[in-house]
Amino acid sequence: MLHCKDGSYYVGVATDVADRVKEHNAGQGCAFTKKRRPVKLVYTEQHANHASARGREAQLKGRRREKKEWLIRGLPSTRPSVRQAHRPE
């Protein structure tokens, strides 16, 4: 998952993540990131195969911003209870 200059998030699939981030920042990525450079890698997952990765990509793209941010911070992807809430120090 990439964090874009405008504050938005981009979710995609890549076999070489570092190389793909470089491509996005060079303007060779998709149209979405081309207009929102620079981008910064904020979250990755590994999957056994391309189909699994594409399925997870679709799932993450459908999530609200709040849930993406919980995932980036390492929190559960469901709404945290008051006891689980992340409080910045």
Confirm if 53 and 13 have CB atoms less than 8 A apart.
Answer: yes
pLDDT at 3: 97
**Helix boundaries (H) for 13-89:** 17-25, 31-34, 50-61, 65-72
Is 59's pLDDT higher than 70?
yes
Confirm if 39 and 21 have CB atoms less than 8 A apart.
Answer: yes
Question: How far apart are the C-alpha atoms of 34 and 64, rounded to whole Å?
Answer: 22
57: its two tokens: 């990509």
pLDDT at 30: 93
Average pLDDT of the chain to the nearest whole number: 88
pLDDT at 29: 85
pLDDT at 75: 80
Count of helix runs (H) and strand runs (E) in the chain: 4, 3
pLDDT at 70: 92
